[in-house]
Amino acid sequence: MQRDALAAYLDQLLEPGRFKDYCPNGLQVEGREPIQRLVCGVTACQALLDAAVAQEADGVLVHHGWFWRGEDGRVTGFRKQRLATLLGRDINLFAYHLPLDAHPVLGNNAQWAKACGWAAEGRFGDQDLGWLGHLPISLNAATLAERVSTCLGRPVQLFGDGERLVKRLGWCSGGAQGFFEGAILRGADAYLSGEVSEQTVHLARESGVPYLACGHHATERFGIQALATHLQTHCGLDCRFVDIPNPV
């Protein structure tokens, strides 16, 4: 598949123009024109780039790319090394941030719900990034945390009342603890996201609504894997997901 054709296909599929994001979405670093093999991962870190080189990939496709708003724009240190790895081997870098969180089928939130068996009901929050839904059966928050831990393959931190009965829940992958209060206002019995902040613990205790911190990386592995499978099926690309472990 040609590079520009793949970029156009991804833009049509994920609709980045609908989002006000913190980084450019789409083709971030231009490499060779023909693309047959993609290495896919959560973040365009050096370890993932090295895997792409080792697997002779034509491109890297990630959720967390580069050129974030407000960061130092100088190409020095680790930024120079990362960019040199791609440019020196003519490898493309494609990145989709909020569009991959929000996609109704392939997105992180949709795929997280599918993996855990939650039924989605609606959206809330900034740019409709937060999701609302319900469990098949009511569980207390402690049992929910155990089941999510099993689904994600990592321990989940539970804050608040572990005995609280949960049927309706809100969730948003990554660093979306800021949507917690909005989920409470919409009747969620619990809220799940990737990260936790100091003030979030107090809100869980004082509101009576448990908060589950499930890991930024862990909750954002789903979308890129689903997208890789989609591209392999619909575009005939050789897509290889590489998970670079991250404890947070």
Nearest to 52 by CA among 21, 77, 86, 76: 86
Type of residue at 246: N
Say if residue 220 carries a ligand binding annotation. Answer: yes
Say if residue 234 carries a ligand binding annotation. Answer: no
Say if residue 64 carries a ligand binding annotation. Answer: yes
Bridge-based pairing state of the strands 37-43 and 190-193: unpaired
At 140, list the tokens: 């207390």
At 88, list the tokens: 């020196």
Say if residue 63 carries a ligand binding annotation. Answer: yes
Q: Say which residue the tokens 């979306």 belong to.
A: 176
C-beta separation of 97 from 64 below 8 A: yes
- Please list, in sequence order, all residues whose beta carbon lies within 8 angstroms of the beta carbon of residue 48, skipping any fewer than 6 positions away: 39, 41, 60, 62, 242, 244
Distance CA 19, CA 197 (A): 25
Count the alpha carbons within 13 Å of 157 in the hemisphere toward its beta carbon: 15
Nearest to 118 by CA among 171, 48, 59: 171
Residue positions in the annotated binding site?
Answer: 63-64, 101, 216, 220
Residue positions in the annotated binding site for a divalent metal cation?
Answer: 63-64, 101, 216, 220
